[in-house]
Amino acid sequence: MSLDDVISSALDSAELTYDRKGDGVYFVTLPGTKKLQTNCWLVAREHSFAVEAFVCRRPDEAHEDVYRFLLRRNAKLYGVHYTIDDAGDIYLVGRFGLDTVTEAELDKLLGQVLEAADGDFNTLLELGFASSIRREWEWRVSRGESLANLRAFRHLVEPASPHEPGSLTTDGN
């Protein structure tokens, strides 16, 4: 079985959406819950195999806290690690020998990418974008817009907005 066959078989078995961009090059979309999707490149070259997934743009604030979180998180990841590019955007990357690329190993690696990108997403937003989240919350409240996709960050808004649809005031109404 060729490497391309192994990769496409693993992706098909996992029922993932992907585009083959050339020999050994795949653009894969991993579905998530907190981060709705994570785009991931799989690239097999003559002597190596690489995984690269975009996680989050450069944080607006608290860079030290974000990077401390990423470094600590790296110690718990399997096969991939967090890194940043020249712009400060956050990625998960991994480099491997071709002999390690099996369907089972790809399943584990993609599972780790998804678990990390999706599982860490809200924490990264809380650490690196808290001020933006607060501004967005207030803007939506002032316009009567939905707060549905911001509910996970309600604890960042102090005090909790009594104007949120469905919230209770102190008198029980």
3-21: per-residue pLDDT in tens?
889 999 999 999 999 999 9
pLDDT at 171: 41
pLDDT exceeds cutoff 80 at 164: no
Interval 45-86: pLDDT, tens: 989 999 999 999 999 999 999 999 999 999 999 999 999 999
In this predicted structure, the answer to whether residue 165 has a pLDDT above a threshold of 80 is no
37-44 and 48-56 as β-strands: parallel, antiparallel, unpaired? Answer: antiparallel
* pTM metric for this prediction: 0.84
User: Going by DSSP bridges, is the β-strand pair 90-97/25-31 parallel, antiparallel, or unpaired?
Assistant: unpaired
Instruction: Specify the 3-state DSSP secondary structure of 118.
Output: helix
Per residue in 103-153, pLDDT tens? 999 999 999 999 999 999 999 999 999 999 999 999 999 999 988 888 889
Q: Please, which residues have CB within 8 angstroms of residue 71's CB and are 6 or more apart in sequence?
A: 82
- All domains of the chain, ordered by start, with CATH? 3-129 (3.30.1460.10)
